[in-house]
């Protein structure tokens, strides 16, 4: 994966600026990162993000179970926007109620962690 990304960077075919591209660019501009360091940083972001996301989703489910009216609003919004079609990454931006619920749960979760 790294070799493909490096090749794309050399050929100026990079369209997105993701974590790997950023780390590879930094590695190329400085002597402080090795390829092994880049791999370790990517692993760290992946696993830390996985745990954080899992905690937030679990907390959101708990909060929604305590507030069935908001659970129903979220369900209705998802069904109205997507029906039976498969979700994709861009479509998620259309979920205003669901986004608000997740943001509020995240704020609340951050407060109780302190």
Q: Which residues contact 45 (CB under 8 A, 6 or more apart)?
A: 19
Note the pLDDT tens digit of each residue in 14-45: 776 788 888 888 888 888 888 899 899 989 98
Provide the phi-psi class of 12: left if phi over 0, else alpha when psi is between -120 and 50, else beta. left
Whether residue 102 lies inside any domain: the answer is yes
| Residue 84 included in any domain | yes
Do 106 and 56 contact (CB within 8 A), yes or no?
yes
12 domain-assigned: no
> Which pLDDT score is estimated for 70?
95
Q: What's the total number of domains in the chain?
A: 1
pLDDT attached to residue 71: 95
CB contact at 8 A, 25 and 41: no
Domain that holds residue 71: 50-113
Residue 113: what pLDDT? 66
Q: Is the residue at 26 inside a domain?
A: no
Report the length, in residues, of the chain: 114
The answer to whether 26 and 17 are in contact (CB under 8 A) is no
Say what the pLDDT of residue 20 is.
86
In a domain, 66, yes or no: yes
On whether residue 56 sits in a domain, the answer given is yes
């Amino acid at each position: 994966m790294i070799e493909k990304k490096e090749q794309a960077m050399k050929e100026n075919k990079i369209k997105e600026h993701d974590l790997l591209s950023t780390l590879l660019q930094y590695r190329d501009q400085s002597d402080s990162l090795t390829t092994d360091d880049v791999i370790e940083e990517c692993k760290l972001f992946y696993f830390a993000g996985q745990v954080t996301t899992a905690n937030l989703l679990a907390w959101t489910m708990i909060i929604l179970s305590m507030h069935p009216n908001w659970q129903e609003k979220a369900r209705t919004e998802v069904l109205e926007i997507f029906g039976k079609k498969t979700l994709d990454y861009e479509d998620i931006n259309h979920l205003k109620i669901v986004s608000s619920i997740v943001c509020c749960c995240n704020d609340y979760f951050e407060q109780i962690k302190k």
